Structure 1
Amino acid sequence: MTTSISSVIKKLLLLFLIFAGLYFAKDFLMPLSIGGILATLFLPFSNWLEKNKLPRGLAAFICLLVLVVIFASLVSILTWKISELLNDVALIKEKTITTGTRMQEYIFNHLGISVEKQSQILKAEQPSLTNIMQSTLGSVSYIVTNLILILAYVFFLLYSRVHIKTFFLKLTVSAQIGEMEKVLRSATNVSQQYLVGLSKMIVCLWVMYGIGFSFLGVKNPVFFAVLCGMLEIVPFVGNITGTTLTVLIAALHGGEFSMLGGIVITYGIVQFIQGWVLEPLILGPQVKINPLFTIIALVLGDLVWGIPGIILAIPLTAILKIIFDHIEPLKPYGFLIGELETEKNETSFMKKIKNILKINV
C-alpha cells in the first residue's frame, strides 16, 4: 500500500515538473511547437516537390514562401475590411458617447453616483498613454520575434526532417523500430489532417456566417464572417468573441433588436451545424479526444501558454494520445483521453451519412 501511494506521489510530482517546465520554457517551446505543426502541413507538398527533382532546401523554401503568401493574404483581407470599418469611426464614436452618457445617467439614477465621481473613477483606472505605448510596442516586438522564429522553424524542420527522424530511430531498440516509425508517421498525419480539417471548417463558417449576416443586413458582413471564422482557431471562445463583437458593432451602427437577435440566432444555427455535421465529418476522424479532456486540454493550454496554448492544445493532445496508444504502460492514459463509446457510435453513424452523401473530406 505504501509503495502504491509513493508511486502515485512520484507520478504527480513528475506531472507537476512537466507542466512547470512547459510554463517556464514557453518562449522557446511555443514557437517551436507552432512551427512543427505548420511544417507537417507542408510535408506532402514538400515531398511532391522533391519527387519532381527539386533540392530539399529549395523545396522547403518554396513551402515557406507559400506559407508567407497565405498568411499575408489573410492579413490583407482583414486589413482591407478593417479600413472600411474605420470609415465609420465618427459614427461609432458618436454612438459610443451617447451610450456612455445613458449609462452614466442610469448609474446616477439607480446607484446615486454622480457623473463627476464616475469620471474621476474612470480617470483613476485609465492607464497612462506612456504605459499603453510601451505595452503596444512590447506586444508588437514579441509577435514579430515569434513570427520570425516560427518561419525559421518551419523551414529548418522541413529541411532536416529525415535527420530528425533518423535521430529518433537511433534512440529506439532494433525490435521496436517499426513501432517508432508508425508513431512518427501517425503523429505527423494527425497534426497535418487536423490543420487541413480546421481550414475546411473555417471556409464553411465563412460561407454560413456571410450568408446569414448578409441576409440580416449587417454592415460589412464579409468582414464579420471572416472574423468569426478565423477566431475558430481558438476553440469555444473564438466564435463567441466574434459574434459578440458583431452584435456590439451592429448595435453601435443603430441596428434594430430584430437584427441583433438575428445575429445571435445565426450564431446558434451555425454552431449547431458545426457541432453536429462539420466537426464529425471533417475533424472527427482526425482528433479522437473525448469532450472532457478536450476542455481540460484547453484550460491547461491557456494556463501554460495563454491563447497560443489554447490553439495548440487539441493537436498536441491528439499527438500525445498517439504516443500513449503505442507505449504499453501508457495505454490506459490513451484510453482515458480517447473517444467515448457513444462518440464511436456517432462516428459510425456519420460515416454512413458521409458514404450516402459521397462527401470526400
Structure 2
Amino acid sequence: MNQLPLTVRRSIELMGLFFLGWIIVLASDLLAPLLMAFFISIMLLPLYRFLVRRKLPDGLAIGVSLLLMAVVVGLIVWFFSSQISSLITDFPVIQKNVTNHLTALSSWVSTKTPFSTQEQLQIINDQSSKVLNYAGGMLSGAATSVTGIFIFLGLLPIYIFLMLFYKNLLLRFVFFWFPTENHEKVEEGMREMEVIIKSYLFGLLIQVSYMTVLLGGILLILGIKHALLIGVIFAFLNLIPYVGALLGNLIGVLLTLASSPELGPIFIVLGTITAVQFLDNNILMPRIVGSKVKINALATIVGVLVGGELAGISGMFLSLPIIAVLKVVFDRSEQFKQWGVLFGEERPNRSPMEVPALREKDEVVQDQLERENEIDPTDRSSKV
C-alpha cells in the first residue's frame, strides 16, 4: 500500500473510516457489549492473575472475579435505588414546591410580558400535549429497549468469561496478523494499551467513589436534601467528558429546585459542584490516572459526540478509552502516525510553517514534544 500514490492512500483511509462508522452503526447492539466486556476484562486481569498464582483453575479464577464484580455492581445498584426511594417518598413535598415555583415564575412572566396567567397555562398545556405524544412514541418501543438492556447485561458476563478464558488464544491471533520482525513492537503496544486501559478505568472507578462521597458529603453537611443522590448522579455523569458535567449540573439544580421552596440552595449546589469539579480536574484526577496518554480536548469532545451518535450512552462512555487505544496503535504505525498526532496533546510551541523539523515523523522531535507537554513515558513493566 505504501507504493500507491499519496492521494489514493488518503482516499482509502477516508473510505475506511466511513465504512467503519457504518459498520459500527449497523452492529452497535453487537459491538457495545463486546467492547464493554473487553475493557472490563482488562480491569479484572490483576485479580484473575492473583487467583491463578494461588493455584486456582482458570475457570474458577474467572468465576470468582466475576462474582466479586457482581457484588460491587449490586452494591452500587442498591445504593442508587435507596436514594431513588427516598426521593419518591418526598414526592408530595416536591409536587408542592414545584407548584410554588411555577406560580412565582408565572407572576414574574406576567410582569415582564403581555401573556396573562390563562395564556401561560394554555401554552404549557399545548407543550405538555406535545411532550406526552413524544413520550408515548418513546414508550411504544420501551419493551424492545428493556429487552435490549437485558440481552446486554446477559451477554456481558459471558463475553468477559470467554475473553479471559481464551486470552492466550486471542493474543496469538493478534500476533499472526503481523510479520515476525514487527512482533516486538506489537508486544510493546499491547503492554502499553493494558497499562493505559487499567489506569484510566481504575481511575474512573476511584473518581466515582470520591466524587460521590466528597460532593454528597459536603451537600449533606450544608443541609441540601437528596445530597447523596445528587452526588452519585453527578459522579456517574461526570464520566462522560464535558457533556456529562453539564448534565450533572442541570440535574442537580432541578433536584434542588424541586426539593426546596427557596432559591438559595441552588447557588449552594452550583458553587459546591464547581469547587469539587475544580479540585477533581486539577489535583485529584491527574494524580490518580496520571499522564500515560493525553488526548487533546478537541479529539475528546468530537470523540464523545461521535460515540454518542454511533452507539448512544455506551458509546459516549467508551469513546475515551477507545481513542486512547487507537492512539497507541497509530503512534506505532508509520502509515497512520498522523492520526496519533491528531489525537494527542503533544502541541508544538512553534508553527511547522516556521520549523521544518516539525513536519517530519521524527522520533527525536516527538520525544522532545512529549517532554515539553509533560507526558510521562508509559510503564511497560506489566505483563500481558
**Interval containing the TM-score (normalised by the shorter chain):** 0.7 to 0.9
Counterpart residue identity of residue 92, structure 1: I
Mapping for residues 1-361 of structure 1, pairs under 5 Å: 3-103=5-105, 110=113, 112=115, 113=119, 115-116=121-122, 118-127=124-133, 131=137, 133-254=139-260, 256-341=262-347, 345=372, 347=374
Deviations 1:221-273 (A, max 9, x none): 22222221122222222233223222222222225333211211111111211
Match of residue 353 from structure 2? none
More deviation in 328-337 or 291-300? 328-337
- 1:303-334 deviations in whole A, cap 9, x for unaligned? 21121111001101100011112222222321
Higher mean C-alpha deviation, range 124-133 or range 136-145: 124-133
Name the CA shift for 1:90/1:180 in 2 (closer, same or farther; >3 Å): same
Instruction: Indicate the structure with greater helix content.
Output: 1
Give the share of equivalent positions with the same residue, in percent.
26
Q: Provide the residue aligned with 1:358 in structure 2.
A: none
What SS does the aligned partner of 2:238 have?
A: helix
- Measure, in 1, the Cα distance between the counterparts of 2:215 and 2:184: 46
Q: Following TM superposition, by how much is the alpha carbon of 1:274 offset from its aligned partner in structure 2, in angstroms? A: 1.6
Please say if residues 280 and 347 of structure 1, whose CA atoms lie closer than 8 Å, have aligned partners that are also in contact: no
Q: 1:106 to 1:210 in 2, by over 3 A?
A: closer
Point out where structure 2 has 5 or more consecutive residues left out of the alignment: 350-369, 378-384
Tell me how many residue pairs correspond in the alignment. Answer: 349
Does the aligned pair in 1 maintain the 2:101–2:261 contact within 8 Å?
Answer: no
Once superposed, what is the RMSD of the aligned Cα atoms?
2.6
- Kindly provide the amino acid, as one letter, of the partner of residue 267 in structure 2: G
Distance 2:71 2:163 in 1: 19
Tell me: CA distance 1:128–1:209, structure 2 relative to 1, closer, same or farther (3 Å).
closer
CA–CA distance in 2 between the matches of 1:228 and 1:117? 32
3-state SS, counterpart of residue 55 of structure 2: coil
State the TM-score, normalizing by the size of structure 1.
0.87
